[in-house]
Amino acid sequence: MARLKFGWGEVSLIPEGKKINLAGQFYERITDEVRDPISVTALAVEGEDIAIFCACDLVSTSSALLRSARNILKKIEGFPYEKVIVSAIHSHTSLSYARADDSYGSTLNVLSKYAPEGVGYDEFAKDDSGDLLDGESAHEFLAEKIAEAALLAYNDLKFGKYAAGFGRAAVGMCRRVCYDDGSAKMWGDTNFANFTELEGGNDSGIEMLFITDKNEKLTGVVANLACPAQILEHRSIISADFWGDVKKNLRAKFGEGIFLLPLCSPAGDQCPRDMIRWVEPESPINDPNIIRENVPVRRADPSMFDEKGCVRAARRITDEILYAYEEIDSYTDEAEFAHKVIDLDIPLRRVTIEEKDRALEAIKSFFEKHTGDLTFKDNAAMHVHAGTVARYEVQQTVDTDPIEIHILRLGDIAFATNPYELFLDYGNRIRSRSKAAQTFLIQLCCGSKGYLPTEKAEKGGHYSAYVSSGTAGHEGGNLLVRKTLTEINKMFD
């Protein structure tokens, strides 16, 4: 057991003088309009070991981006670059960047292979004015900013204290709808006689840490919530979504020097919208899965596609943070602190011959009707089928997908990471059997491996449960749960 040191750093992710291509939808959104700042916030913790958490206001963080940031930090003598943990809040109103991640089949390559001779690809988000930050430049920019924030936090390390807290806020809810034929659909209509149930539950819990200096003056808050930050996901603005509003609220209360480290808990099947008490967007959005007809007017939340909903969700989270803070009666300045970095081979989710043949038939049918070059919209429309064929080709020579996970102990608290949009049930299984008094789980961390659905979701189908939605299936999910629990509980034996 050792005395603890904490350090904070925060760096803006808004490129000066450039428009950005927003990530997270299957259509083009280019903007330089800023609703609220986006940033990378870093928290360094040092005791018997060290960890540097970097929470990014991004849709995801790829393995390639993590490597790039670490390569910058590796040049600093003595810097513990391998202990840097990079995660995303899953904001759909932030930078798109070139991921160049470990490939398990390119959907575009598949479409190009089966396209008639002479059909090319009209590159997404082309810009001849020089005002748009291209994907490669965005990657380099983000790596530099993540490294800068990590270094700021490391250099800020000084003796301090912490206290854990807990709250509840109704923000995340299941977004997969089940029907009486056994099928399921993300964003499915529930005002429908064949609707039977929501596929999964929700978790309103918020795990919290309050970090202070040695005199118990608050310096920052860690908040772990099972909901992606995607209320404003269809809008063409730059924003950290509800976490941006939470940060603003906390700084209004405690001063501009307060930091917020937002961590997304397993929430691959979660969203900020009530699928039962459906409230329409205030203005049209470009997503056919969201369009409803003859929608009854509900007395419920404000639109969770718009500003009012974002403010409401942030207020719920902020209130719970403040309630938990007021209940703290003591802080700790020393604790057991351990940090283990684990490389784990996850089984690659496989495609059957029948699934491959159906996908090829769909691609063939598409090209019989298609004219002109392929566009980003075409690639999106054929993503499921092309992804299925790509996986079939890759699985002939590849059996596993290597991932990096981090397991930490801080006193009676555990932290565990994963690189997926992990369905809630896996997180529930880890938390319920963890020996820690409190377990922080961080998805979309140190890699970008797509959705990891449950077996029930795989059978139900649709987006987030298709093979092309992620590299792993329920077998990999079960392995991840077992390994995470084993490593957490060994730290507490």
CA nearest neighbour of 224 among 378, 386, 387, 417: 417
Q: Are 266 and 79 a contacting pair, CB within 8 Å?
A: no
Asked if residue 382 is part of any domain, the answer here is no
Q: Where are the beta strands (DSSP E) in 118-217?
A: 158-168, 173-174, 176-179, 184-186, 195-198, 205-213
Q: What are the CA-CA distances from residue 456 to residues 349, 408, 477 (Å)?
A: 15, 30, 12
Residue ranges in 230-281 assigned as alpha helix (H)? 241-254
pTM, full prediction = 0.95
In this model, does residue 371 exceed pLDDT 90?
Answer: no
Residue 424 class from Cβ within 10 Å (0-12 exposed, 13-18 middle, 19+ buried)? Answer: buried
Asked if residue 29 is part of any domain, the answer here is yes
Dmax over CA atoms of the chain, in Å, equals 72
pLDDT tens sequence across 62-91: 999 999 999 999 999 999 999 999 999 999
CA dihedral of residues 133, 33, 265, 55 (deg, nearest 10): 60
- CA 208 to chain CA mean position, Å: 18
Asked if residue 229 is part of any domain, the answer here is yes
Quick check: helix, strand or coil at residue 478? helix
**pLDDT value of position 24:** 87
Asked if residue 387 is part of any domain, the answer here is no
Higher pLDDT, 221 or 127: 221
Q: Are 221 and 259 a contacting pair, CB within 8 Å?
A: yes
Quick check: helix, strand or coil at residue 320? helix
Q: What are the CA-CA distances from residue 50 to residues 5, 222, 240, 338, 387 (Å)?
A: 9, 17, 27, 8, 39
Where on the phi/psi map is residue 187: left (φ > 0), alpha (ψ -120 to 50), or beta?
left
pLDDT tens sequence across 301-333: 999 999 999 999 999 999 999 999 999 999 999
Dist CA 60 CA 75 (whole Å): 25
Q: Are 407 and 228 a contacting pair, CB within 8 Å?
A: no
Report residue 354 as tokens.
Answer: 């029948």
Dist CA 157 CA 49 (whole Å): 13
Report residue 320 as tokens.
Answer: 């719970």
Q: Which residues are CB-neighbours of 230 under 8 A, at least 6 positions away?
A: 24, 90, 91, 92, 241, 271, 272
CA atoms within 13 A on the CB side of 284: 3
Q: What are the CA-CA distances from residue 181 to residues 201, 289, 454, 489 (Å)?
A: 20, 19, 18, 41
In this model, does residue 128 exceed pLDDT 60?
Answer: no
Asked if residue 118 is part of any domain, the answer here is no
pLDDT tens sequence across 27-51: 889 999 999 999 999 999 999 999 9
Asked if residue 237 is part of any domain, the answer here is yes
Number of domains in the chain: 1
Dist CA 452 CA 470 (whole Å): 6
pLDDT tens sequence across 373-412: 877 677 777 888 999 999 999 999 999 999 999 999 999 9
**pLDDT value of position 142:** 98
Asked if residue 354 is part of any domain, the answer here is no
Domain span holding position 467 = 2-98+134-349+396-492
Dist CA 99 CA 372 (whole Å): 28
> In whole angstroms, how large is the CA radius of gyration of the chain?
22
Asked if residue 112 is part of any domain, the answer here is no
Q: Which residues are CB-neighbours of 243 under 8 A, at least 6 positions away?
A: 57, 89, 91, 229, 260, 262, 314
pLDDT confidence bin for 121, thresholds 50/70/90: low
